[in-house]
Structure formats: C-alpha cells, structure tokens
Amino acid sequence: MSTFRVLFLCTGNSARSQMAEALVNHFWGDRWRAFSAGTRPTGYVHPLAIQALKEIGIEHHGRSKPIAELPHMDFDLVITVCDAAAEECPFWPGPGFRTHHGYPDPAAAEGSEEERLQAFRQVRDQMLKELPALLKAWEKRLAEERR
C-alpha cells in the first residue's frame, strides 16, 4: 500500500493542526505522512497541546511554521482544521485535494489550567474518533486517482 501525504492547516499552527499531525504520524504513519502549517503561525506549539499528546504516549516535537515553508512539497490532501484557515485559504495552489474538517479552538478555552487542558483533551479525543474514518475515505479516493 502506498503512503499518502496530508497537510493540516490552521491559523496559528499551535494546537489543532499540531495535534492532528502528531496523531496521524503516530497512529496511521504506515499509510499517511502528516505535516502542519499555519496561515498566521504563532511561532510556538501550545504547551497544553504537547501535554494532551503526552498523556496518550506521543512525544511531539513540532514547530509552528508558515505555509511558505512548504512550497516545494506536494500533498495528496490538505485539511483545514479551523474555520479561519478555511476562509483564508479557500483553495490550495499546489497539487492535492483540499477539504475542511473543523475543530473548536482549545487555545481559546478559559478557566483554570485543568479546565483549559480538558479543552485540549476534548479536541484530541474528537480527532482520534473522527480522523480514522476521514482518512480511510480519502485513501480510497486517492488510490483511485493514482490509477
């Protein structure tokens, strides 16, 4: 089976896209190679995103980066994971399909550290629930395109 390349795109590239990249590379890395970038990157990966990943055994060492760092890469699929990125990047100029699959912004959560961490856990768990079916559906379509 061939490997597909997916880019997770969000605004800050500090939480949702970083978690999606780490989850895909960890759990589905035999079929997918994931990357992430931001339309307006923050320059850091949110510590609570790193902690939420660490809780399930993933050591993520990602870096918040702009789309401009990836112009030489071809992706099979580009997934915007926040509404702002979907609006700012209504089409992908390179090869590959583009789709939107939004998640709430855990970095916007307020409250105690534990309450904010819970918001990151919820997004992480939602991704773990939804990404397998999403990727499987795209695998079929992309395999047909490659024929």
CA dihedral angle for residue 55, residue 123, residue 93, residue 136, rounded to 10 degrees: 80
10, 53, 67, 142: which one is catalytic?
10
Catalytic annotation, pick one of 6, 24, 82, 119: 82
Helix 113-146 vs helix 47-54: crossing angle, to nearest 10: 70
Task: Assess whether 10 carries a catalytic annotation.
Answer: yes
Active site residue 122: no
Verify whether residue 115 is a known catalytic residue: no
Lookup result for tokens 């978690």:
19
Dihedral, 136, 138, 142, 144 alpha carbons, nearest 10: 70
Instruction: Write out the catalytic residue numbers.
Output: 10, 82, 89
